[in-house]
Amino acid sequence: EVQLVQSGAEVKKPGESLKISCKGSGHRLTSYWIGWVRQMPGKGLEWMGIIFLGDSDTRYSPSFRGQVTISADKSISTAYLQWSSLKASDTAMYYCAAGLEFEFDYWGQGTLVTVSS
């Protein structure tokens, strides 16, 4: 069994940077892929990218490549999602999720990011 705990809600201004986290617990976590999923208010799920905790092999959706950075620290079983310059359109709920293949068996509770001047 894997548990994912995400960092808390954030309120930021346009142009600011942000890094949110997703800490996993459970056995064999270095064998898992951890992905990030965006859900804008009232909208559907969007696959952003995924990272293999064991060696940090990373894949991005073309829609998000260059817009965010996904990273991980396997020593503390934590994945990160980072923005260098936030926009109002980044306002959304962000979920991390984990799976042994490319399905998402386990989900975090979500981190709400609000970007507003």
Partner 1 sequence: QSVLTQPPSVSGAPGQRVTISCTGSSSNIGAGSHVHWYQQIPGTAPKLLIYDNINRPSGVPDRFSGSKSGTSASLAITGLQAEDEADYYCQSYDSSLSGVFGTGTKVTVL
Q: Which residues bind partner 1 (CB under 8 A)?
A: 35, 37, 44-47, 50, 59-63, 95, 97, 99, 101-105, 107-110
- Minimum Å gap between C-beta 87 and partner 1 is 18
- Minimum Å gap between C-beta 86 and partner 1 is 21
Task: Specify the residue, 13 or 100, whose C-beta has the smaller distance to partner 1.
Answer: 100
How far from 107 is each of 17, 38, 49, 86, 116, CA to CA, in Å? 24, 13, 14, 24, 27
Task: Specify the residue, 30 or 99, whose C-beta has the smaller distance to partner 1.
Answer: 99
- Minimum Å gap between C-beta 15 and partner 1 is 26
Q: Facing residues of 8 across strands?
A: none
Rg, the chain, Cα only = 13
CA 48/CA 29 separation, integer angstroms? 20
Task: Specify the residue, 4 or 15, whose C-beta has the smaller distance to partner 1.
Answer: 4
Amino acid at 101: E
